[in-house]
Amino acid sequence: MRQIFFIFIIITLMSACTPVADINEDIKDDTNEDLECTQDSDCKREGCSGTLCYPVNAPEIATICNWEPEYACYKD
């Protein structure tokens, strides 16, 4: 019984040592000129509250959702 418990502990510890993927590998460099707006038509509103100006050709982003009364001016 002790051997089974010992083997279980070893397997559990080994599985905890598995490397995780780098979360930053898919993030593009913000200094890329393709991700900059040169005119208003190059940008879109992004973010949960719609308060970010983001390039149209950039991947979607996630932001926290917090709505403040002063954000009312951002509505269409």
How do residues 28-69 score in pLDDT, each as one tens digit? Answer: 555 555 667 788 888 888 877 777 888 888 887 778 887 788
pLDDT at 6 over 80: no
Let me know if residue 65 belongs to a domain: yes
Classify burial at 70, counting beta carbons within 10 Å of its beta carbon; exposed 0-12, middle 13-18, buried 19 or more: exposed
Let me know if residue 72 belongs to a domain: yes
Report CA torsion sign: 35, 37, 38, 39: positive
Count of structural domains within the chain = 1
Let me know if residue 60 belongs to a domain: yes
Let me know if residue 63 belongs to a domain: yes
Q: The domain containing residue 52 runs over which residues?
A: 38-76
Let me know if residue 56 belongs to a domain: yes
